[in-house]
Amino acid sequence: MSPSSYVVRVAEDPADREACFAVRKEVFVVEQGVPEDIEYDAYDADALHVVAVREDGLPFGAGRLLYGEVAAAKTGGEPGVGSLGRLAVLKAARGLGVGVALVRGIEDAARARGLTAVDLHAQTHALGFYERLGYLAYGPEFLDAGIAHRAMRRVL
């Protein structure tokens, strides 16, 4: 699979959303051992979901953006700050730039909604990835689903 053989788009219909959930299940539940009952949450219903799909229709990356009032719990209540989360790329597609394309797609969606910054909670092993994309870590390390994380922000 070459980097040019996929597209990143906003999940517009139920099939796209299910594709996002399938990618998340493979990465977070199967690969990382996150309990399925906490992987999917009440935020999923109102979130903007982004999916990476190969030319043949196979989904292999996903992420979501929370914005408005639903983002407040994750961003300290700051208006204009969205929350990027649930970024997942299937193992076979890692190293192809898919994660970068998903983050940039989510940031574009955030800008289109008038947001001025994006926060996220990065697994500590992924801090370098997000730092290369312009995110800065803040606050102490914390556990989420038993995995070490740090809060990060990028001004758009």
Region of 90 (left: φ > 0; alpha: ψ -120 to 50; beta: rest) is beta
For 102-128, how does the pLDDT look when each residue is reduced to its tens digit (9 = 90+)? 999 999 999 999 999 999 999 999 999
The structure's pTM equals 0.91
Hey, which residues does 84 pair with through a beta bridge?
65, 120
Confidence of residue 73 (pLDDT cuts 50, 70, 90): confident
Cα–Cα distance list, 75 to 99, 119, 135, 142, 152 (Å): 22, 6, 14, 15, 10
